[in-house]
Structure 1
Amino acid sequence: MDRNSAIGLTLIAGLLLAYFYWFAPKPQEAPKVPAATEQRMAATDSSAVVVKGEPEASDSILTATYGDLSAAMKGTDATTTVETGDLRIEFANRGGIIRALELKKFKTYDQKPLLLVQPLSTAFNLSTQYQGREVDLYTLYYQPTQKKEGDTTVLTFTATLSNGASLAHVYKIPDAGHEIQYQVVSKGFDKLLGTDQLTFRWADAIRPLEKDLADTRKNTTVTYNSREEGFDELSAASTGTENEKLATALNWVAIKRKFFLSSIIAKEIPFAGGEVQTAFSAADSSLVKQANIQLTIPKKALADGKASFKFYFGPNDYQVIGKVTENFAENVYLGWRPVYWINKFVIFPVFHFLTLHIGNYGLIIIILVILLKLVLFPLSYRSYLSMAKMKVLKPELDEIKERVGEDMAKVQQEQMKLYGQVGVNPISGCVPVLLQMPILFAMFYLFPASIELRQQPFLWAEDLSTYDSVIQLGFAIPFGVGSHISLFTVIMTLSTLIYTWQNNQMSSVQGPMKSMSYVMPVIFFFFLNSFSAGLTFYYFVSNLVTFAQQAIIKRFVDEDKIRAIMEENKKKNAANGGTGKKSKFMSKLEDAMKAGEEARRKADEEKKKKKS
């Protein structure tokens, strides 16, 4: 590792350390969430989220209060279950709503059924004005009918009023997949409403599904897509209450867990606006976050037969969700540009291709490392060659420091002169390292976001999507380490230290800068100890392959030959009376150094004049 590479990597590590230390969200007081009220969503703790219906009343009181609607105010609770290859859905005849929904092909971390909707945690509300009163249409009693259309189950819940008007909730559930078509159908019912809109509310007390609660909270939020502004989301890293009022038309809103999505999507007429909120109490480990969604449905959509929607309850899988609706794939964060482009068009397609043909994800990671190292081999070769050149020049560079003394500007000028004489570009070793950095960061985003790694074991790791905890501590170490030690992170750190030591044998860097190169791997241990085991395993394998690459390259890099070429260049340039041909960059760098030295000299002269 030459001086420029060491400086570049030190700056990167410093920026990362500063970001995590200074800009991480500060803990806030536990949020106060409004208590549950009639026909309203809320949750104050880990207890059930409920939407209270109307109290029991006699038929005469109901008729006097609600008129024609009273016929649907009383009934007997019952459920209807529909089971497909991917979903098990339980519907309630009171409300005609989804009461429970299980993803059959997934389990929680402790191997229990994975429910995205459950009675004690999820509540739906569809409010409107009827005869001057706010009524929740999901508290009415509906009559269910079920039929089959090809490979789709059609389930209809109908409430008929005494005046002949009716309201129906129609669900179309295919035999496979995670999408559920949903339509609210009115036959004269819309004419009885005293407002021009309906309000859809969805409250979800999100329960833990994964091993790492802290990481789950950092990846749980509400996302949405505006027709005017596109994809956006509430801050997932917030430690308090996040709330956003949305005045623009919305295509969809989703409750995003780390690996799963629950979403409602407008098919024909968008939602007219709404409000989204997330909140959680850090002290309540039984709850990830509380998510509240409120959306406005125009009454015109109901009147025109266009109150059509679809639900998506399924994995947050990049290969799947891109086909659901516009911008839905944004729910998988693949990094900032250009890292996003590298992940989307290079890394992710290769990774997905390997998952289709290989069942062992540890082996997939090893193959991915080897493929990327082969592609990047020319850059690795140039970087190693640059380090070899700097190693050959080290005695002369040290001689310049001893001869010139403490005048660093003069030292740099003499070193640049030497580089020109022997035909060496000191930046050439830094450029290949910088070009490989986007790949490094692409993996940093890819593995934690890949549901393919979820609950996939390898060696001692039981789940490559989260950390492997071989040692549990009785206390928490700050700076992201947590209350455990990850073995993959430990061996990754040790291999990086060995790699650093190996490079330092070829480096001209001395003093504090050389010591700093050993500090950086330790810093990254703190950052990565609670990250995906798949990620740290990838970095470890990458180090091993790099060792092998350098051993192979070393066989083809003859330092004596490099020294002879440098001496020949020096003689040619001396005979020509110059310092050799310079690149535009080197010329500009020398000019900048001369200008800086001239400015410093003038400043010293001004100081002397003032003193005299």
Structure 2
Amino acid sequence: MEEKKLDVKTIIGFGLITLLLLYMIYNNTAKNEKEALEKEKQEQIDKAKKTQIPEEATAAVVADTTVNDSVKTAKLKSTLGAFAYSAALPSAKSNVTEIKNALLTIKVANKGGYIQELTLNNFEQFKKGSGQRVELINKGNAALNLQLKTADNRLLNTREMYFEPVYTKEGQNEVLTMRLKAGANQFLEYRYVLKPDEYMMDFSIRSQGLAQVVDTSKPVDLDWSMKTYRNENSVTFENRYTNLAYEYEDGKSDKLGLGKSESEKPEDVSYVAFKQHMFTSVLLTDTHFKTADLTSENLVADETKDTIYTKNFTAKLPLEFKGGELSYNMNWYYGPSDYNILNGYDRNLDEIVPLGWGIFGWINRWIFIPVFSLLSGFLPYGICIIIFTILVRLAMSPVTYKSYVSQAKMKVLRPEITELNEKYKNDAMKKQQETMKLYNSAGVNPMAGCLPALMQIPVFYALFQFFPSYFDLRQQSFLWANDLSSYDSVLKLPFSIPFYGNHVSLFPILASLAIFFYMRMTSGDQSMSAPQQEGMPDMSKIMKVMIYLSPIMMLIFFNSNPAGLSLYYFISNLITIGIMYVIKNHIVKEDKIHAIIQANKTKPKKQGGFSKRMQDMMEQAQQEQQKRQLKK
């Protein structure tokens, strides 16, 4: 039989079959390995879910083929800790839940469980008409955090963890419960309750079952911080009135924020307020914080560049565990720094509004605010300021009258006082005695002109505090002023003048002119009524300087102050000029004053106790002086 030989075609056929078989074997093996790897990954993920470890957190660890199973497990535990349960929930995403009423729109983030955005629905920022609402919280300017210590000494920050939101309605109240879960029945809870037409909302922090997973032997710190946004026209003025206010030790109140950087550690704290000029954010608690670590940092180094934020506030407040759990009933207030609104809560929040201390605050609270509120109920705010100014000046007119009568009496007595000065120019003690006798016989009190002026100081200072703090003036226009709570700029300068600013305000100019003419009217009488004392400066020269210096000082100082305040002083000076004109030309006549003084000299005078003691002291001093001279 003839032997077959392998030809080229046969060899090629066997080669192709072999390559095909090898490809099929390789492809099948790779597929099996891929399926096995995917199955292993799925088993790891399923196992992680069963052990309360989220899929999102396990993905990176499972994909790491450089570590063994024990290392993977350790990584997962150290990454998530006791609260891994919450990260496996659908809420473990950067979502927000919105609650709102007619006044506030609030968006609470799942991550951290705190407010991500808070808008005041009825107020615009300083650019009136822009439609941009006032936002107290946005773009990460505020944060709330609890730092929890686990049983194995690890620290967990709630701001980095995901809460599960549950939204419900309780009557007309909107309720948002945010839970950070450590297990099916183990959680930390924030509860927000927003009521209709209220700036104040209920807020509570409580826990359940945490004693099993965190260290409850020591208080946990609640860290609250905020970089306050600029919301008003003048960043300088807003920054001046932005501060951190707090109440402590059963009713005491204080503030931080006047310096570049300040800190304080009060005890027994009942509320902390991050106050801006016209708006404020307040955290109140029913269970007082035993201590508080408060800081304020000024963020406005250059007023031409630093125009977004004003201050950076932080508050570290310890929350104590009771029975292994947290339970704190608190409140958030986000709204206007309006005295009437804050005072209505009856929780001493009116102290946040800077109305002045002592008698100055008393005048504002019990006189100026009620009167102005009454007038503003039926009058435009510009007209309201004018009427209010008239009422204040009329109320002070008796004091003005007494002051002018005293000046007129001193002016009439000036020739006689000059004569006494010349007669006893070498005996100062005798000169003082004779001058006091002249005052007593003429029925003139040399202090009568000073006391009325001193009585006006509390009113002046109270008004200076009232206008910048009265919220209702915000964005109220009058004539050329767009906002009575801010300066009335009629001209923008291309440069900045030191102490004056980069704009020209018209109301301060008018107020300065009014005070100039008033001082021109009264300077002659004041200099004439004040006798020149030996060794003392010439009052007439001083008054001539003050006539020009006072208006310039007012012009510089009031240029960046609220237009409402400048309007008040402009109208006030005009009214004072009118009152002084009437008193001088139609009520107080110098010839009548002179006749009264001469009549008083003829009447027997009963010397007052103070005057008698002063005279006795001077006589005794004179006797001592004479004895010393005799010994010499």
TM-score bucket of the superposed structures, by smaller chain: 0.7 to 0.9
The yes-or-no answer on 1:534 pairing with 2:564 is yes
**In the TM superposition, what is the alpha-carbon distance from 1:209 to its structure 2 partner?**
1.2
The aligned residue for residue 100 of structure 1 is 117
1:400-444 Cα deviation digits (max 9, x unpaired): 445555766555444333323322222222222222221111101
The aligned residue for residue 541 of structure 2 is 512
Change (3 A) 1:301 1:439: farther
Change (3 A) 1:537 1:95: same
Q: How does 1:295-334 map to 2 (within 5 A)?
A: 295-300=317-322, 303=325, 306-324=327-345, 326-334=347-355
The aligned residue for residue 71 of structure 1 is 85
Query: Could you tell me whether the CA contact under 8 Å between 2:100 and 2:194 is conserved in 1?
Result: no
Higher relative contact order (CA 8 A, sep 6+): 1
**In the TM superposition, what is the alpha-carbon distance from 1:288 to its structure 2 partner?**
0.9
Change (3 A) 1:379 1:143: same
Q: Which amino acid aligns with 1:212?
A: S
Change (3 A) 1:319 1:58: farther
**In the TM superposition, what is the alpha-carbon distance from 1:540 to its structure 2 partner?**
1.5
For 2:457 and 2:613, how far apart are their aligned partners in 1? 25
Gaps of at least 5 residues in structure 2 are: 1-56, 63-72, 531-538
* Equivalent in 440, 453, 458 of residue 473 of structure 2: 453
**In the TM superposition, what is the alpha-carbon distance from 1:154 to its structure 2 partner?**
0.9
Partner of 1:455: helix, strand, or coil?
Answer: coil
Q: How does 1:94-493 map to 2 (within 5 A)?
A: 94-111=111-128, 112-131=132-151, 132-195=153-216, 196-227=218-249, 230-234=252-256, 236-239=257-260, 241-246=261-266, 248-267=267-286, 269-281=287-299, 282-283=301-302, 284-300=306-322, 303=325, 306-324=327-345, 326-358=347-379, 360-401=380-421, 404-405=424-425, 411-478=431-498, 480-493=499-512
**In the TM superposition, what is the alpha-carbon distance from 1:523 to its structure 2 partner?**
3.3
Change (3 A) 1:101 1:566: same
Query: Could you tell me whether the CA contact under 8 Å between 2:82 and 2:213 is conserved in 1?
Result: no
For 2:335 and 2:562, how far apart are their aligned partners in 1? 21
Query: Could you tell me whether the CA contact under 8 Å between 1:467 and 1:533 is conserved in 2?
Result: yes
Partner of 1:157: helix, strand, or coil?
Answer: strand
The aligned residue for residue 587 of structure 1 is 612
Change (3 A) 1:374 1:307: same
The aligned residue for residue 13 of structure 1 is none
Q: Which amino acid aligns with 1:87?
A: L
Q: How does 1:13-24 map to 2 (within 5 A)?
A: none
Question: What's the TM-score once normalised by structure 2's chain length?
Answer: 0.79
For 1:203 and 1:588, how far apart are their aligned partners in 2? 62
Change (3 A) 1:601 1:317: farther
For 1:333 and 1:206, how far apart are their aligned partners in 2? 18
Q: Identity over aligned residues, as a percent?
A: 32
Query: Could you tell me whether the CA contact under 8 Å between 1:217 and 1:237 is conserved in 2?
Result: no
Query: Could you tell me whether the CA contact under 8 Å between 2:190 and 2:206 is conserved in 1?
Result: yes
Query: Could you tell me whether the CA contact under 8 Å between 2:278 and 2:338 is conserved in 1?
Result: yes
Change (3 A) 1:162 1:380: closer
Query: Could you tell me whether the CA contact under 8 Å between 1:335 and 1:445 is conserved in 2?
Result: yes
For 1:388 and 1:448, how far apart are their aligned partners in 2? 37
The aligned residue for residue 48 of structure 1 is none
For 2:291 and 2:236, how far apart are their aligned partners in 1? 31
Query: Could you tell me whether the CA contact under 8 Å between 1:184 and 1:302 is conserved in 2?
Result: no
Q: Which has the larger radius of gyration?
A: 2
Query: Could you tell me whether the CA contact under 8 Å between 2:251 and 2:348 is conserved in 1?
Result: no
RMSD of Structure 2 on Structure 1 (CA)? 2.9
* Equivalent in 76, 86, 94 of residue 62 of structure 1: 76
The yes-or-no answer on 1:501 pairing with 2:530 is no
For 2:412 and 2:59, how far apart are their aligned partners in 1? 91
Query: Could you tell me whether the CA contact under 8 Å between 1:124 and 1:201 is conserved in 2?
Result: yes
Gaps of at least 5 residues in structure 1 are: 1-53
1:326-347 Cα deviation digits (max 9, x unpaired): 3321111211322122222222
Q: Which amino acid aligns with 2:591?
A: D
**In the TM superposition, what is the alpha-carbon distance from 1:355 to its structure 2 partner?**
2.3
**In the TM superposition, what is the alpha-carbon distance from 1:597 to its structure 2 partner?**
5.7
Query: Could you tell me whether the CA contact under 8 Å between 1:271 and 1:297 is conserved in 2?
Result: yes
For 1:128 and 1:592, how far apart are their aligned partners in 2? 74
